[in-house]
Every structure is written in structure tokens, then in C-alpha cells.
């Protein structure tokens, strides 16, 4: 993957959010693509909430791991998040898709984002992944 940032060393216990995402990946329901993804969000009180992709026979209804984790966290009452981590198959670029970027922006357009890639772990921010995000601020400007 072409990227300006230096690749990080392999995941370790010093990266609990990414480890949680990797554990959640094992619970993915991906019978159609076979592409399992796990995600984990860290909430403002330091809790970690995980999610995984859940596919459907009507393919377009499938939900990504990132939205799965955020929806679960929101349903549990959390509204503020410190970071999100995404774990895909080893050595595969698994950056959040465009829909998930917009979904994350709803809660923090600058949220730190880590994801596994062919170069190791990429550490970036939502602002870099989705510049000029459309947010609720626009709705107050009319």
C-alpha cells in the first residue's frame, strides 16, 4: 500500500484497541465474501466496544465492522469516542470504506483511525481519510 507514513511494528499488547478488533474479527459473519473484518471503538470513559461485518444474502444489506461497532456502542449509550481500530485479513489493506468514513464522521470528524494493511498498521485520522466531511454543522447554516 502506498502511504507516506512509516509502517508500525506488528500488533502487541500495547495496542489493546487493535487487539480487540482482531478478536472481534473471528466473530464476523461473512459467508459470501469470506472477507472477515473486526472493529473496536474506544469510548470516552475508556471502554472498548467491538463489532464485526455482518453480511446478508441480499448483498447490499451487509454491514461493515466499523458501523457494527459504532451502532452497538451508540445503542449501549455511548456518544463520544477516542478512537476506532479496524482489523482485516493479515497483510490486506483494510481501510474503512467510504460509507463507514461518513458514519464515523457523524461522531467525530477527526477521530483517530487505525487499520491493518499490507504495510502493517496504518495510524491516521478521519480528517485525513475524509476531508471536507459533511456534518451536522451544515444543517445549521441554512
Query: Which of 3, 7, 30, 103 touches ligand THU by CB under 6 A?
Result: 30
Write each residue from 43 to 62 as x if it is in contact with ligand THU (CB under 6 A), else as -, in one continuous string: ----------x-x------x
| Residue pair 104/134 in contact by the 8 Å Cβ criterion | no
Number of residues that bind ligand THU (CB under 6 A): 15
Query: Which of 37, 48, 84, 113 touches ligand THU by CB under 6 A?
Result: 37
- Per-residue CA distances from 44 to 48, 52, 119, 127 (Å): 10, 21, 29, 19
Active-site residue flag, 66: yes
- Residue closer to ligand THU (CB basis): 19 or 66: 66
**Smallest distance from ligand THU to CB 46, Å:** 24
Instruction: Give the number of C-alpha atoms closer than 13 A to the C-alpha of residue 44, restricted to the C-beta side.
Output: 8
| Separation CA 66–CA 39 (nearest Å) | 5
Amino acid at each position: 500500500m502506498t502511504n507516506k507514513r512509516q509502517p508500525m511494528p506488528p500488533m502487541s499488547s500495547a495496542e489493546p484497541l487493535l487487539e480487540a478488533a482482531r478478536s472481534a474479527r473471528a466473530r464476523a459473519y461473512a459467508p459470501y465474501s469470506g472477507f472477515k473484518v473486526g472493529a473496536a471503538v474506544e469510548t470516552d470513559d475508556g471502554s472498548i466496544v467491538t463489532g464485526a461485518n455482518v453480511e446478508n444474502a441480499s448483498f447490499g444489506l451487509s454491514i461493515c465492522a466499523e458501523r457494527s461497532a459504532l451502532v452497538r456502542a451508540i445503542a449501549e449509550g455511548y456518544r463520544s469516542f477516542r478512537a476506532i481500530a479496524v482489523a482485516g485479513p493479515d497483510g490486506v489493506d483494510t481501510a474503512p470504506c467510504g460509507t463507514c468514513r461518513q458514519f464515523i464522521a457523524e461522531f467525530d470528524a477527526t477521530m483517530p483511525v487505525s487499520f491493518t494493511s499490507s504495510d502493517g498498521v496504518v495510524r491516521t485520522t478521519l480528517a485525513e481519510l475524509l476531508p471536507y466531511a459533511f456534518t451536522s454543522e451544515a444543517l445549521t447554516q441554512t
